[in-house]
Chains A and B, each alone.
Chain A
Amino acid sequence: MIKLRNIDRYIDKRLQRNFILKGIDLDIAEGDFVSIMGPSGAGTSTLLNIIGFLDDANEGEYFFLDEPVHGLNEKQKSEYHRSYIGFVFQAYHLIDELTVYENIEMPLLYRKVKGSQRKSMVADMLDRFNIVAKKDLFPNQLSGGQQQLVGVARALIGSPKLILADEPTGNLHSDQSKEIMQIFKKLNQEDGVTIIQVTHSDEMASYGDRIINLQDGAVTENNPYEEE
Chain B
Amino acid sequence: MFKNYIKIAFRNLFKNKVYSFINIFGLAVGIAVCALIALYVQNEWSYDEFHENSENIYRVWAEETLQDGRVILNTSTPFIVVETIKNNIPEVENITYLNRFSNVAGVPQNDQKISENVSIIHDDFFDIFDFKFVEGSRESVFNSPSSIVISESAAKRHFGEATALNQVLSLKIGEEFRDFTVDGVLEDAPANSSIRYELLIPEQYFEPIMGERSMRNWFNIFGPSYVTLKDGTDPEELTDKFADMMRAALGEEEYEMTKYKIGLQPLTDVHLNTDFPGNGSDPVYSYILSIIALLVLVIACVNFMTLSISRSTSRAKEVGVRKTIGAVREHLMYQFWGEALLMTIVAVILGLIFAELLLPFFNELSGTVLEFSFGWQNLAVLLGCSVIISLIAGIYPALILSGFRPTQVLKGRLSQSSEKGSFNKVMVVFQFTLSIALIIGTFTIREQLAFVQQKNLGFQKEQILTFNSGFVNTPNAGIDNVFASSLSRKQILESELLGLSGIQQIATSSFTPVQTRGWFNVSFPNEQNQAQPFHANIVDENFIPTLGIEILNGRNFSEENASDKERAIIVNQAFVDYFNLEDPIGKRIPGPNFLDHEIIGVVNNFHYESLHSPIEPLVLTQKGQIVFSGINNMNLRNSAAPKYTVKLTTDDLQATIAGIRDVWEDVAPGIPFDYSFVDEALDSQYRQEQRLSKIVTSASLLTVLIAGLGLFGLASLMVVRRTKEIGVRKVLGASSSNILLLINKEFTLLIGLSFLIATPIAWFAMKEWLKDFAYSIELGIGLFLLAGIATLVLSWLVVSFQSIKATLINPVDSLKSE
What separation, in Å, do the CA atoms of A109 and B325 have in the docked complex?
10
On whether the beta carbons of A106 and B325 are closer than 8 Å, the reply is yes
Determine if A89 and B407 form an interchain contact, defined as CB atoms under 8 angstroms apart: no
Which has the most chain A C-beta neighbours within 10 Å: B15, B318, B323, B326?
B326
B338 within 8 A of A: no
Residue B808 at the chain A interface, CB threshold 8 Å: no
B-contacting 9-mer, from A29-37, A74-82, A211-219: A74-82
A54-B407 contact in complex given A98-B8, A102-B7, C-beta closer than 8 Å:
yes
Residue numbers in A under 8 Å from B586 (CB-CB): none
Residues of B within 8 A of A159 (CB): none
Bound form: Cα–Cα A81–B326 in Å: 5
Q: CB of B317 within 8 A of chain A?
A: yes
Query: Looking at the complex, which one of B15, B325, B327 makes contact with A97 (CB distance below 8 Å)?
Result: B15
By beta carbon, the residue of chain B nearest A103 is B321
Query: Is the CB–CB distance between B325 and A107 below 8 Å?
Result: yes
A28 interface residue per 8 A CB criterion = no
Q: Establish whether residues A97 and B11, one from each chain, have CB atoms under 8 Å apart when the complex forms.
A: yes
* B588 cross-chain contacts in A, Cβ below 8 A: none
- A87: chain B residues within 8 A (beta carbon): 324-325
Q: In the complex the two chains form, is A79's CB within 8 Å of B326's CB? A: yes
Q: Which residue of B lies closest to A49 (CB)?
A: B407
Q: Mark A101-125, 1 if CB is under 8 A from B, else 0.
A: 0100111011110000000000000
Residue of B nearest to A89 (CB): B410
Across the interface, do B323 and A78 meet the contact criterion of CB distance under 8 Å? yes
Q: Is A93 an interface residue (CB 8 A)?
A: yes
Minimum CB–CB distance from B74 to chain A (whole Å) comes to 69
Chain B residues lying within 8 Å of A105, measured Cβ to Cβ, are 4
Contacts of A81 in B (CB 8 A): 323-326
Chain B interface helix/strand/loop/mixed: helix
Across the interface, do A107 and B326 meet the contact criterion of CB distance under 8 Å? yes
Contact assessment for B407 and A106 in the assembled complex, using a CB-CB cutoff below 8 Å: no
A139 to chain B, nearest CB (A): 11
- Of the four ranges (under 10, 10 to 19, 20 to 34, 35 or more), the interface on chain B belongs to 20 to 34
| A97, B411: Cβ atoms closer than 8 Å | no
- Identity of the chain B residue whose Cβ is nearest the Cβ of A97 in the assembled complex: B11
Residues of A within 8 A of B379 (CB): none
Contact A45 B325 (CB under 8 A): no
What separation, in Å, do the CA atoms of A109 and B7 have in the docked complex? 13
Interface string of B544-588 (1 = CB under 8 A from A): 000000000000000000000000000000000000000000000
Contact of A55 with B407 in the complex, beta carbons under 8 Å? yes
Cα separation A112 to B1 with both chains bound (whole Å): 8
Query: In the complex, what residues of A have CB within 8 A of residue B320's CB?
Result: 93
| Contact B322–A106 (Cβ < 8 Å) | yes
Give the residues from 294 to 322 in chain B that come closer than 8 angstroms, CB to CB, to chain A: 317-318, 320-322
Q: Mark B409-429, 1 if CB is under 8 A from A, else 0.
A: 011100000000000000000
CB–CB A82/B325 < 8 A: yes
Q: Which residues of B contact A54 (CB under 8 A)?
A: 323-324, 405-407
Contacts of A97 in B (CB 8 A): 7-8, 11-12, 15, 318
Interface residues of B in 391-409 (CB under 8 A from A): 405-407
B327 touches A110 (CB 8 A): yes
Is A69 located at the chain interface by the 8 A CB criterion? no
Q: With a CB–CB cut-off of 8 A, which chain B residues contact A38?
A: none
Residue interface mask A146-170, B partner, CB < 8 A = 1? 0000000010001000000000000
Q: Which residues of B contact A95 (CB under 8 A)?
A: 8, 317-318, 321-322
Residues of chain A within 8 A of B331, CB atoms compared: 110
Name the A residues within 8 Å of B318 (CB-CB).
Answer: 95-97
Closest A residue, CB atoms, query B15: A97
Sample 13 A-B pairs with CB under 8 A, ordered by A number. A54-B407, A78-B323, A78-B326, A78-B328, A81-B324, A82-B325, A82-B326, A95-B322, A105-B4, A107-B326, A110-B325, A154-B325, A158-B325
18 further A-B contacts with Cβ under 8 Å, apart from A87-B324, A110-B325, are A54-B406, A74-B329, A75-B328, A78-B323, A81-B326, A82-B325, A93-B410, A94-B321, A95-B8, A95-B318, A97-B11, A102-B7, A106-B4, A106-B322, A109-B1, A109-B4, A110-B326, A112-B1
